[in-house]
Amino acid sequence: MFSSRTNWDRTPNRLTEALARRRAAGLEILDLTESNPTRCGFAWDAGVLFDALRHPEIATYRPDPRGIEEARSAVRGYYAGQGIAIEDAQIVLTASTSEAYSFVLHLLTEPGDQVLAPAPSYPLIQYLADLHDVTLSHYPLRYDHGWTVDAAALESSVTDRTKAVIAVSPNNPTGSYLGDAECKRMGRLAAERGMALVVDEVFRDYAWSERGCRPVSTAAVGECLTFTLSGLSKVSALPQMKMGWIVVSGPAALRDEALARLEVIADTYLSVSAPVQVAARSLIEMRAAIQERILRRIRSNLAELDGILSGSQCSRLQGDAGWYAVLRVPTTRSDEEWALELIEREGVSLLPGHFFDFPGEGHLVISLISPTETIRAGCCRLLRNVG
C-alpha cells in the first residue's frame, strides 16, 4: 500500500532508547544538542511579535505563488543591506528552507537523477532526496586546521545524471563556509557540466571566528543557475514563523525559465501563511538585536569550551560560523559508544559524528546556543569520562 520511498528504518537507535529511559526515570539530562532558539532563552518578546502581526491585511487572502510583493521586497532589503543587489522577481517564498530544497528538487530532477552534497553535513538532505527518488552522493570536506571542499573528489563525483551540487555555507555542523575562490570554482564546474548550484545560507549571519568576516553569498552569482536558500528560522531566530525563501540567479534565460517553473510549483502549494508574509518586513528588520544576543552567547560558549578542553585529550575542531561545534575525542571507542556512555553515566546528551557522516570515529557535536552553564557542566562531565 505504501510507497517504497518512505520505507525508512524507523527502529530507535541505542542513543534514542537511552535518552528515553533516562527521561522515563525522571533523571537529569544536560542537553548539549538543543538548537531551538525559543528553548534556549532567545524567544522574542510576545508583544513585539503581536505588534508585527497586528495588521488589517492578515484578514485578506491575496494568493501570490512567489509570495506577496511586500514580503519579497523585505527579503530583497535583507540582501540590499549587505550590498547584494537582487530584484523582487528573483525571490520565491516557501514555508521553510526544507520546502525550498523540495521545490528545487521538483524543478531540477527526474527519478534516478543524482545530486551532490557535502559530508559531513546535516542529514535532512538525505530524506529530501529519498522523497524525490533522487540519488544523493557526497563530496568530502577535508579537515586540516580548517575545512575545505575536496575539489578533485567533487569533480570526480559528477556523472551524466548529476543535476545539482548542494553546498551548505556555513556548514552544519562543521561551521565552515565557502570562500570566494571555492564558490567561483563550484560555479564554474556547475556551468561547464550543465548543473545547478544550490546553496543553503541559513547560518550566514552567524560568523564568529577571529576572521570576523561574513561568508560570501551566492545570491548574486551569475555564472551558473544558482538557488540560494535561507529563511526566518535562523535569520530572525523564528522557527515558528514558517517562512523561507529561494533567490534564483544566473544566466538570464535559465534564471527566468527556472522562476516560471518554480511559480507553478509554488502555486500548487501556496504554503506560506498570509500573517507571516504581512509581518515579514518587521520580522526581518528587527533581527539585529536577537542575532547580537545569539552571537554573544556563542562566543561566550566557545571561550568556556576552549578553556575547559585546554590540556585535555579532547579538542575543538576549527570552525568559523553557525550554531555548532565539533569536538575531537579519543578513538578508543566509537562516537555512538561515547555518546551512550555520557548519557547513561553522566546524563549528558551530545550528538555522535556519524549522524552527520563524519569520516571515521572521534567526533561529537554540540550546540553553541545552549545556555553557558549547561555547556560548562556538560563538558566537565565529558572530561571526567574521557580523562
Please indicate, yes or no, if residue 379 is contained in any of the structural domains: yes
Which has the higher per-residue pLDDT, 51 or 224?
A: 224
pLDDT at 256 over 70: yes
Residue at 322 is within a domain:
yes
Distance CA 63, CA 189 (A): 38
* Same domain assignment for residues 313 and 220: no
Q: Which domain-ending residue is among 285, 311, 329?
A: 285
Position 42 in a domain:
no
**Whole-number Cα distances in Å, 247 to 49, 172, 219, 220, 232:** 26, 20, 6, 9, 14
End-to-end CA distance of the chain: 52
Give strand ranges (E) for the chain.
Answer: 30-31, 91-94, 114-119, 135-143, 147-149, 162-168, 196-200, 226-231, 244-249, 315-316, 324-328, 348-349, 351-352, 363-367
pLDDT value at position 137? 97
Residue 307: how many other CB atoms lie within 10 Å: 11
- Reply yes or no on whether the pLDDT at 211 is more than 80: no
173 within some domain = yes
Distance CA 255, CA 130 (A): 26
Q: For residue range 218-244, list pLDDT tens digits in order.
A: 998 889 999 999 999 999 999 999 999
Asked if 341 and 216 sit in the same domain, the reply is no
Q: Over the stretch 5-22, which tens digit does the pLDDT of each residue have? A: 999 989 999 999 999 999
Q: Both 227 and 293 in a single domain?
A: no
Boundaries of domain holding 106: 56-285
Residue 370: is it exposed, middle or buried by C-beta count within 10 angstroms (0-12/13-18/19+)? Answer: buried
The CATH number covering residue 241 comes to 3.40.640.10
* C-beta of residue 290 within 8 angstroms of C-beta of residue 331: no
Average of per-residue pLDDT across 271-292: 95
217 in the same domain as 112: yes
pLDDT at 366 over 70: yes
CB 316 within 8 A of CB 305: yes
Q: Phi/psi of residue 340, each to 5°?
A: -65, -45
> Which CATH number covers residue 356?
3.90.1150.10
> According to the model, what pLDDT value does residue 212 have?
59
| CA distance linking residue 218 with residue 66, whole number of Å | 20
Q: Which of 236, 266, 285 is the last residue of a domain?
A: 285
Q: Is 309 inside a domain boundary? A: yes
Number of other residues whose CB lies within 10 A of the CB of residue 147: 22
How confident is residue 145, by pLDDT bands cut at 50, 70 and 90?
confident
pLDDT over 80 (residue 213): no
What is the DSSP secondary structure assignment for residue 353, as one 8-state letter?
Answer: G
Q: Is residue 49 part of a domain?
A: no
Residue 46 inside a domain? The answer is no
Does residue 51 form part of some domain? no
Give the bridge partners for 328, in sequence order.
Answer: 315, 363
| C-alpha cell read off for 86 | 537582487
133 and 228 together in one domain? yes
Please determine, for residue 139, whether its predicted confidence score (pLDDT) is greater than 80.
yes
Q: Do residues 66 and 181 both lie within one domain? A: yes
| Alpha-carbon span 277 to 295, nearest angstrom | 26
Give the model's pLDDT for residue 42: 92
Question: Of 1-15, 98-112, 115-129, where does mean pLDDT reach its minimum?
Answer: 1-15
Question: Rounded to whole angstroms, how far apart are CA atoms 212 and 126?
Answer: 32
Helices (H) and strands (E) in the chain, counts: 13, 14
313 and 190, same domain (yes or no): no
Cβ atoms of 87 and 66 closer than 8 Å: no
Q: Say how far residue 381 (Cα) sits from the centre of its chain.
A: 28
Indicate if 118 and 173 belong to the same structural domain.
yes
Name the band, by pLDDT with cuts 50, 70 and 90, for residue 387: low
Number of folded domains that form the chain: 2
The pLDDT value recorded for residue 83 is 94
Q: What is the pLDDT of residues 322-354, one digit of tens each?
A: 999 999 999 999 999 999 999 999 999 999 999
**286: confidence class by pLDDT, cuts 50, 70, 90:** very high
